[in-house]
Amino acid sequence: MVHMKFKRIFMLFSLWSWSVTLIAQVSIKDRLNTILNDSLLIHSFVGVSVRDVATNKLVYERNGTLSFTPASNLKLITTAAALDLLGADYRFITRVYYSDTISNHSLKGDLVINGGGDPTLGSDKMNGSLSYQLLMRNIVSELKLKGITQIEGRIVIDPTHFEYNPIPMDYTWADIGNYYGAGSFGLNLNENQTVITLKPSSKVGGITSLQSILPWDSSWSFINHIKTGVSNSGDKSIIYSSPYNPLFFGEGTIPMGTAYAVKASISDPSTLFANLLIAEMNKQGVVFKGTIKIVQSDDIKMNTSKMNIVFEHKSPTIKEICTYANLVSNNLYAECLLKEISFKMNGVGSAQNGINHIKKYLSSKNVDTIGMVLRDGSGMSPFNSISPNQFTQFLVSKSLNTIYVTSIPIAGLQGTVAHICKGSEGKIRVKSGTMNGTTCYSGYVQTNSGNRYAVSFMVNKHEAKNRMVQHVLSTALMEIMRSN
């Protein structure tokens, strides 16, 4: 009798538990459907996947198996692969050598700069990194400490750590001349960006005047067609250029008012590095009598093992680089990570080889890669495609890796997601992905009741302003956080 009573109670409790779970799930589905049926999204492609991290079960999906352009959400995959395949403590290394002998303070041989693909070289945006000015100053100071005050040989820059072509084949013409479309070279400098400062005209439509370009290479030519827009109209300028091309030009507008800074990509950082180094030598009284040589991939490789090392620069760790790349959505960092994976695995810093290794890496995590198209490491290519369900499948596989999870920005507080999900109290970590007509968020949401979900929201082909679509997706993320 007692046994039968206990059995009935157990069955009633099980039925209640199942009902509560079902109601909670229906509630999530209904609420998300209401939010995602917003008129802003009515003509766009919307893909959503919400997966329970503990069970790997889908809680909600909309077009979850279809492929979408992920934009910078792809960095979540590239940085995860870099952390696992390179190692969290791995660093890029740039070395400076000299060959031959020093006689009467004169170097008879070459000064060789061996690029290591470091995307942070000469940029002080990350803690512990040197600005390009301080980097040059330190190199020349080390030369003088070696007793060198004159160089009769060449300055040899070797950027062959990575392949010659620095740009993924699908980048658009309007992107590659701007800072966010900068190429990834075997030797990078100042994140391969230069700042063009322009003074607006006193009238709308008037041509702007050039005030400065820093850093500057005397071999460059800049043609300015950028005009003055109305006040508070923002940066609507576009810089056009191509790799290894010293000519670049600007079109579009900047707002009327005070001097305005526009960031452009550097098309040939190796040549710039050499010229900036020579300029610093002149400042410090080191005479350079030789020529500049940029090593090409088909040149005979220089044997640095028999040379004397002057200077060695180590980047921040891969852990730090990945965190920064996800925080500010830095395309260059992601592309260099992709090529460095290839270099470590094959000895050649190739984007395509890096992509092949990332596909194998995803398969090793039991992520279905059928239909997945990867064209770069940053998500800049509009031809990348991945389904929301593939994304959450991948995120579940990484959900227990604290180093990885904490590399993803906290919504409402950090980086490119600081403006969304205000008041979420650190329970939402997502990476943004944005380009014209594309708005995405992928990452993790912890609910108020303690459940944890891997989420991926991808909206493609929308006509609305990105901030408006971001608001809709922010509302959806907050709704998940409030669910049971």
> How far is residue 336's CA from residue 60's CA, in Å, rounded to a whole number?
35
Q: CA 174 from chain center: how many Å?
A: 18
What pLDDT tens digit does each residue of the chain (484 aa) get?
445 544 454 444 444 444 444 444 557 899 999 999 999 999 999 999 999 999 999 999 999 999 999 999 999 999 999 999 999 999 999 999 999 889 999 999 999 999 999 999 999 999 889 999 999 999 999 999 999 999 999 999 999 999 999 999 899 999 999 999 999 999 999 999 999 999 999 999 999 999 999 999 999 999 999 999 999 999 999 999 999 999 999 999 999 999 999 999 999 999 999 999 999 999 999 999 999 999 998 898 889 999 999 999 999 999 999 999 999 999 999 999 999 999 999 999 999 999 999 999 999 999 999 999 999 999 999 999 999 999 999 999 999 999 999 999 999 999 999 999 999 999 999 999 999 999 999 999 999 999 999 999 999 999 999 999 999 999 999 999 999 7
Q: What angle do CA 392, 394, 395 make, to 5 degrees?
A: 60
DSSP readout, 411-476?
Answer: TTTSGGGTTSSTT-TT-EEEEEEEETTEEEEEEEEE-TTS-EEEEEEEEES--S-HHHHHHHHHHH
What pLDDT shows up at residue 6? 45
What pLDDT, on a 0 to 100 scale, did the predictor assign at position 101? 87
For residue 260, the cross-strand partners are: 198
Q: How far apart are CA 123 and CA 321, in angstroms?
A: 12
Nearest to 310 by CA among 160, 96, 119: 96
Q: Is 87 helix (H, G, I), strand (E, B) or coil?
A: coil
| Amino acid 18: pLDDT | 45
pLDDT of 2: 42
Rg (CA), the chain: 26
**Please, what are the domains in the chain?**
34-87+320-482 (3.40.710.10), 93-164+269-317 (3.50.80.20), 173-265 (no CATH)
Structure tokens at 176: 């590659």
